[in-house]
Structure 1
Amino acid sequence: MTQLNQRRRGDQLEKAIYDTTYTLLSQHGLDHVTFSRVAAAAATSRSVLYRYWDSTFDLIFHTIIYQIQKIPVELTTSPLNTGSLRTDLIQLAQHFIQQSSTGPFQYFRLLFATTMNTQNQRELTQLITQIDHANLALIDPILTNAQNHGELQLRPNQAAQLVLFQQLRYYDIINQPVITVQQLTDLVDQVVLPALRASGVANRHFHH
Structure 2
Amino acid sequence: MHLEKTRRRGAELEDAILDAAWEVLIRQGYPGFTYEAIAARAGTSRPVLYRRWPQRDDLLLATLTKFLWSQPIELPDTGALRDDAIGSLRNADSARAHVLTLVSVQLMEYFRDSGSSLSELRDKIRDPSRPTSMETIVARAVERGEVPDRARPARVVSLPFDLLQHEMLMTMRPVPDEVITGIVDDIWLPLLTRP
Q: Same fold (TM over 0.5)?
A: yes
**Partner letter of residue 138 of structure 1?**
S
Whole-angstrom distance in 1 between the partners of 2:66 and 2:139: 27
Deviation at 1:163, TM superposition (A): 0.4
Unaligned runs of 5+ in 2: 1-8
Structure whose residues are more often helix by fraction: 1
Q: 1:140 aligns with which of 113, 128, 135?
A: 135
Counterpart check, 1:30 vs 2:28? yes
Q: 1:66 corresponds to which residue?
A: 66
CA RMSD in angstroms comes to 3.4
Aligned length: 183
The answer to whether the Cα contact below 8 Å between 1:89 and 1:188 also exists between their aligned partners in 2 is yes
Superposed CA deviations along residues 8-55 of structure 1, whole A, max 9, x for unmatched, are: x655543332123224545xx126755345324545311232453544
Counterpart check, 1:117 vs 2:112? yes
**Partner letter of residue 65 of structure 2?**
I
Superposed CA deviations along residues 97-145 of structure 1, whole A, max 9, x for unmatched, are: 1122355x34442256334322433886243443595994322332232
Deviation at 1:89, TM superposition (A): 0.9
Superposed CA deviations along residues 30-89 of structure 1, whole A, max 9, x for unmatched, are: 26755345324545311232453544x7634541133223122x52xxx31222111111
Matches for 1:125-164 after TM superposition, within 5 Å: 125-130=120-125, 136-154=131-149, 156-164=152-160
Unaligned runs of 5+ in 1: 1-8, 202-208
Whole-angstrom distance in 2 between the partners of 1:163 and 1:17: 35
Counterpart check, 1:197 vs 2:188? no
The answer to whether the Cα contact below 8 Å between 2:89 and 2:180 also exists between their aligned partners in 1 is yes
Deviation at 1:188, TM superposition (A): 0.7
**SS class of match (1:96):** helix
Counterpart check, 1:98 vs 2:94? yes
Q: What percentage of residue pairs aligned between the two structures are identical?
A: 23
Superposed CA deviations along residues 146-170 of structure 1, whole A, max 9, x for unmatched, are: 1222112226342222101111111
The answer to whether the Cα contact below 8 Å between 2:17 and 2:42 also exists between their aligned partners in 1 is yes
